[in-house]
Amino acid sequence: MKRRSFFKFSLATAFTSILKPQSIFGMQALKNPGRNSNPVVISTWSHGIEANEAAWKVLGNSGSSLDAVEQGVKITESDLSNRSVGIGGRPDRTGHVTLDACIMDERSRCGAVACIEGILHPISVARAVMERTQHVMLVGEGARSFALDCGFETCKTPIKEVKKDWKEWKKENKEAFEKPVINHENHDTIGMLAIDAQGNISGSCTTSGWAYKLPGRVGDSPIIGAGLFIDNEVGGACATGMGEAIIRIAGSHTVVEFMRQGHHPEKACKLAVERIISKHEDVQGLQCGFIAIDKSGQVGGYSVYNGFNYAMKSSDTEKILIDAPFDRKW
Ligand code: SD4
């Protein structure tokens, strides 16, 4: 197909799908019918425990991993007490809460939004980009207007408490371009990976990004290959921490490629962390962590510094929190 007619086709298809809004996507039919495996879900940080519970409601009822990873992280996105994801997230330095999210499924379909404002569930908009358009990523105003066209719920940000913190931060940080700090205790981004009863793997990732970032800054979280990557033949991985460092090595894709070479998910995450360390002269304060799941349902995680953990739920294990091994001490 010639380039121009391809675009005509794509835009026409995208436009038609928007004009026929499906308010909520129907639950997805499972692929690979007949294949049996034990569902497993893992998510970054302790907020993953609650998110996994929501994902498990889908996975435990023979639902698809795609539905599970969307439903799971929606819990975190709407948690008003979470300062690094969704509606309760911290703003950029000008006071705008801009959100990033992406999703990828077992067919290597993917969708993402970046720098979207005032929409309650960026992850669902990312899924709509994947399912209703020919594109992978929409950003800023374009992403927001697509979300509004699709009928997604809006929200007002920053919430009161966050606005108060931001005002204090502004007073204490008069230097306009002083580097904002990601500290190790910051409970960042939720990344979630799930394998369903049919053995299909999907993942999601959603964040408000680096607190008090420069306006327009986008981290790794909505970037397929950096914040999240799935290859259903091999496994999936997602990332948390300083997005700039994760993007440099296409982190989540790198983890999946290490699993393809035969490494256990934990070893694959460790090798990616070591690559990040090798690409930086100074990793002082540079925290990054990965989690991964392979085709057989084995899981693992690893981080540059201690303090990173991830939550897991499967039919054999009640909800648990696992401390990821790390490379360096504080
Ligand atoms: C980002 N990785 O925007 C995300 C958020 C995060 O520490 O995890 N920050 O860089």
Higher model confidence: residue 134 or residue 7? 134
What per-residue confidence (pLDDT) applies to 268?
98
Q: What is the pLDDT of residue 180?
A: 55
Query: Ligand 1 centroid vs 274 CA: distance in angstroms?
Result: 18
Q: Please give the positions annotated as active site.
A: 189
Q: Which amino acid residue places its CA nearest to atom 5 of ligand 1?
A: 209
Looking at the DSSP bridge assignments, the partners of residue 138 are 113
Is the CB of residue 240 below 6 angstroms from any atom belonging to ligand 1? yes
Confidence of residue 315 (pLDDT cuts 50, 70, 90): confident
Average pLDDT of span 104-113: 98
Residue 40, pLDDT > 50, answer yes
With cut-offs at 50, 70 and 90, classify the pLDDT of residue 234.
very high
Tokens standing for residue 26? 């129907």
Q: Report, as an integer, the average pLDDT of 171-194.
A: 70
**CA gap 189, 205 in Å, rounded:** 7
Q: What's the whole-number average pLDDT of the chain?
A: 87
**In a mutational test of the pocket of ligand 1, which residue from 210, 224, 248 has the highest number of ligand atoms less than 8 Å from its CB?**
210
Instruction: For residue 10, report the distance from its CA to the centre of ligand 1, in Å.
Output: 32
Strand-pair partners of 300: 292
CATH class of 32-168+186-321: alpha beta
Q: How confident is the model at residue 176 (pLDDT cuts 50, 70, 90)?
A: low
What string of DSSP letters covers 282-304? --TT--EEEEEEETTS-EEEEEE
Residue where the block lists tokens 């690409």: 279
Contacts of 250 (CB under 8 A, 6+ apart): 225, 226
Helix (H, G, I), strand (E, B) or coil at 224: strand
Q: Which helix (H) or strand (E) holds 146?
A: helix 140-150
Checking if the pLDDT of 113 tops 70, the result is yes
Q: What are phi and psi of 107, to 5 degrees?
A: -95, 10
- When pLDDT is cut at 50, 70 and 90, the band that residue 178 belongs to is low
Task: Show me where the domains of the chain are located.
Answer: 32-168+186-321
- The pLDDT confidence band at residue 79, using thresholds 50, 70 and 90, is very high
What's the average model confidence in pLDDT over 296-319? 91
Judge if the upstream peptide bond of residue 325 is cis by omega within 30 degrees of 0.
Answer: no
Model's pTM, two decimal places?
A: 0.88
> Cβ(209) to ligand 1 under 6 A?
yes
